[in-house]
């Protein structure tokens, strides 16, 4: 309980800090949250709070400052992955899971970064950032993926704040985790379906490739 209270207090102080500084505060909070410090939902809520009653251009400024801060923070963690992050992965995951993740990154590396950038908590995010460095994603592609995903996510909250005002702030502060659970569940179901279809397709391809060989052997006999 003491730890939870302390984290809440830190979160409130950081929010007050960001609100006082405006755009630069958002940038610094985003750098911290996307690298080695976790501040749940801070960026989303701060964009909404600062965008309330503002013009579209001001909202876009806040979105860009937060996005650029997130890109920088993610790149710091990405660099750790490039320089030895596999050791960290092996401490938390089996080699089978690491190999599976490596294959997924090889097939669609951009999506493996963009999708976690888009989804709110409890979707794990930093593990994908770290894995990007471990599995050799090119820095330019990584930066583009994070920038794209974060811009879409933060722009959505900024637009809603300008249009709906205080109601979206209340909604975000009290219901974002529930929405995140639902979205994550849907994402996992879709991912499982796609993986299942690919496995089935690969199995059918292997059977077709084996069938002619078996037929030829029967004819020879």
pLDDT tens figures, 58-111: 999 999 999 999 999 999 999 998 988 888 888 777 788 778 778 878 888 888
Q: How far is Cα 78 from Cα 126, in angstroms, rounded to an integer?
A: 9
* pLDDT at residue number 146: 96
Taking 70 as the pLDDT cut, the residues of the chain under it are 1-12, 40, 121-122, 174-195, 198, 202, 210-221
* pLDDT at residue number 63: 96
CB 114 within 8 A of CB 74: no
Q: How far is Cα 131 from Cα 38, in angstroms, rounded to an integer?
A: 18
């Amino acid at each position: 309980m003491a730890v939870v209270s302390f984290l809440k207090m830190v979160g409130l102080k950081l929010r007050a800090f960001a609100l006082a500084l405006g755009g630069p505060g958002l940038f610094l909070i985003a750098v911290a949250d996307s690298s080695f410090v976790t501040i749940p939902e801070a960026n989303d809520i701060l964009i909404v709070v600062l965008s309330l009653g503002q013009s579209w251009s001001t909202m876009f400024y806040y979105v860009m400052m937060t996005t650029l801060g997130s890109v920088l923070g993610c790149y710091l963690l990405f660099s750790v992955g490039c320089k030895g992050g596999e050791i960290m992965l092996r401490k938390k995951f089996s080699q089978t899971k690491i190999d599976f993740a490596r294959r997924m990154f090889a097939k669609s590396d951009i999506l493996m970064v963009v999708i976690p950038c888009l989804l709110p908590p409890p979707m794990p995010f930093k593990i994908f950032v770290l894995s990007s460095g471990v599995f050799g994603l090119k820095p330019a592609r990584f930066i583009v993926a994070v920038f794209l995903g974060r811009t879409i996510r933060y722009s959505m909250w900024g637009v809603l704040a300008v249009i709906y005002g205080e109601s979206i702030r209340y909604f975000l502060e009290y219901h974002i985790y529930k929405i995140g659970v639902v979205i994550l569940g849907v994402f996992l179901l879709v991912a499982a379906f796609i993986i299942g279809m690919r496995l089935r397709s690969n199995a059918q391809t292997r059977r077709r490739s084996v069938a002619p060989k078996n037929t030829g052997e029967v004819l020879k006999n």
